[in-house]
Amino acid sequence: MTEQTAIDEREAAASDRLDPEDAGRALTAVESLLARHRARFVELVERDEQGQALKHEPAVDYLTELRWVLEDMHPADVAYVLEALPVDDRLEVWKLVREVGSSHDEGEILLEVSDSVRETLIGAMNRAELVEAVESLDADEVADLAPDLPREVVEEVAAALPLEEREQLRAAMSYPEDSVGARMDFEMVTIRDDVTLEVVLRYLRRFDALPDHTDQIFVVDRDERFMGALSLQLLVVTEPEREVKDVMQQDVLQLGPLDDVGDAAAAFQRYDLVSAPVVDAAGKLVGRLTVDEVVDVIREEGEEQVLAGAGLREEEDIFSNLWDSIRNRAPWLLLNLFTAGFAAWVASRFDATVEKIVVLAFLMSIVAGIGGNSGNQTMTLIIRSLATGQVTPTNVRRLVQKELLVTLMIGLGGGAIAGLFAWALSGSLGLGGVMWAAMLLNLLVGASVGMAVPIVRTRLGYDPALGSSVLLTFATDTMGFFIFLGLATLFLL
């Protein structure tokens, strides 16, 4: 490959403007440059062993090109690339990142990567490198990284912070992981209510830049108690002679530092918020929650539900070591093996029936499969509704009735189609009737289990999605075989 082609590839991957496709192009460029670097290294070793001198040295070293690519990339795109690389390549690229990037970029990248990947990156850094990367971050960002950092690093970074930021860090680390306090931002603009808007405008002009996602200015009294908020939009369009207390909004959504951050995210979605004040029990303004954190919360909760539904206990690095992957995946798979074995045992109890009516062996998997799919639809709907808080003790009975009615109607129609298929396949009208009844009953079993499992797990304080699909499959397979073969035994023999 020519030097110009390599340079064109680098320029395509690294751009001053942000583009959703930048990360994908950068990943392709990084993988290509790493492959060329390794191939070149092998070639050099082979020729050196043979005592041959290279006639044509490359004008640009591939690792140098890779540094150029990484130097121009946004931290979020670097994080994306690191997550997509095998561990050896990841560590090599991370070493180059630390060589070409600023310490602030390193800290931002550590914030952006997933927990599992962050562990490998931190493990490749010594104490001094970690301190340099983390000390450039804000107090709330340091608090986000603190659980994954060595204790001595956190203590050294905290000791170097100004007193106010040190107190903020201590406060953020004191709140539970899933609370608003652990996610809140301490950077915000506050004003008094007895000043004019002209004074507020002059005050804002003193800032080099406003904190990110500043859509409103918080109004506090001399004791830092929250009084209301003044939107920037209103500040711009209102006469500057008016006082803040005359135009500020007092009916503002307030969050408590101990509130569940998932509930806060739901409020942001419902009310289309960009930021919200965080007020403690004494009424004092202690921070704010911003939409960028809420987006992260929504993404994390969505990923957790997807993983839990598959029986995975935690997010897994796709290139993690063998034993970590086994430890994460094996428990629910072993349970699934047990439940599948039990379903097979139930089917084996009807071996005499299957021997006499061989077509049952082909049809019983349809009964179990359709019941599982229907139950999965119901379960997904219930888990989503539980996550959004739409299922309450007062409406759960009506929800159950509605879902059972929907399943009944689908079962009547779908069971009739399945019964006609069984009749056409076997020529037995009785078998068609058994197929229809078994399909209807197993659909009702699937719907019942699909509702009961997540609701009961939520009432007991567990994740409603974790392993629910395994329990649902167990119920629909076991009951599907039992109902279908049991009815066949009663009515066809």
pLDDT tens digits for range 81-138: 898 888 888 898 898 888 876 555 889 999 989 888 898 999 999 999 999 999 888 8
3-state SS record for 427-461? CCHHHHHHHHHHHHHHHHHHHHHHHHHHHHHHHCC
309: its two tokens: 């539904």
15-29 pLDDT, tens digit per residue, is 444 455 566 777 777
> Given pLDDT bands bounded at 50, 70 and 90, which one contains residue 228?
very high
SS (H, E, C) 113-140: CCHHHHHHHHHCCCHHHHHHHHCCCCHH
Q: Is 124 left (phi over 0), alpha (psi -120 to 50) or beta?
A: alpha
The answer to whether 126 touches 150, Cβ cutoff 8 Å, is no
Using CB atoms within 10 Å of the CB of residue 369, give its burial: 0 to 12 exposed, 13 to 18 middle, 19+ buried. Answer: middle
Query: ∠389-395-398 over CA atoms, to 5°?
Result: 130
- Give backbone dihedrals phi and psi of 220, rounded to 5 degrees, phi first: -130, 160
Percent of the chain with pLDDT over 70: 87
Least confident of 1-10, 55-64, 332-341, 484-493: 1-10
324: confidence class by pLDDT, cuts 50, 70, 90: confident
Q: How sure is the predictor about 449, in pLDDT bands with cuts at 50, 70 and 90?
A: very high
Q: What span, in angstroms and rounded, lies between the C-alpha atoms of 204 and 180?
A: 27
pLDDT digits (tens, 9 = 90+) for 43-67: 665 655 555 555 455 544 677 778 8
Identify the CA nearest to 216 among candidates 206, 299, 227: 227
Average pLDDT over residues 69-74: 81
Q: What's the burial of 380, exposed, middle or buried (CB within 10 Å: 0-12/13-18/19+)? A: middle
Say if residue 255's pLDDT is above 70: yes
Give the SS3 label for residue 84. Answer: coil
What whole-number distance in Å separates Cα of residue 368 and Cα of residue 474?
A: 10
Domains, the chain, in order of start with CATH, read 3-125 (no CATH), 190-309 (3.10.580.10), 322-492 (1.10.357.20)
Contact of 388 with 262, CB cutoff 8 Å: no
pLDDT at 243 over 90: yes
DSSP string covering 349-402 = TTHHHHHHSTTHHHHHHHHHHHHHHHHHHHHHHHHHHHHTT---TTTHHHHHHH
pLDDT above 90: residue 279 = yes
End-to-end CA distance of the chain: 74
Cα 75 to Cα 265: distance, rounded to the nearest angstrom: 25
pLDDT at 77: 86
In this prediction, residue 18 carries a pLDDT of: 45
**Residue 49's pLDDT is what?**
57
In terms of Cα–Cα distance, which of 11, 32, 31, 33 is closest to 22? 11
Mean pLDDT, the chain, as a whole number?
84
Distance CA 206, CA 190 (A): 14
How many whole angstroms separate alpha carbon 185 and alpha carbon 137? 12
User: Under DSSP, is residue 81 helix (H, G, I), strand (E, B) or coil?
Assistant: helix
At residue 464's C-alpha, the angle toward residues 458 and 469, to 5°, is: 145
β-strand partners of 219? 191, 228
Nearest alpha-carbon partner for 178 in 255, 115, 261, 257: 261
Residue 256: C-alpha distances to residues 211, 218, 288, 355, 437 (Å): 21, 15, 10, 66, 53
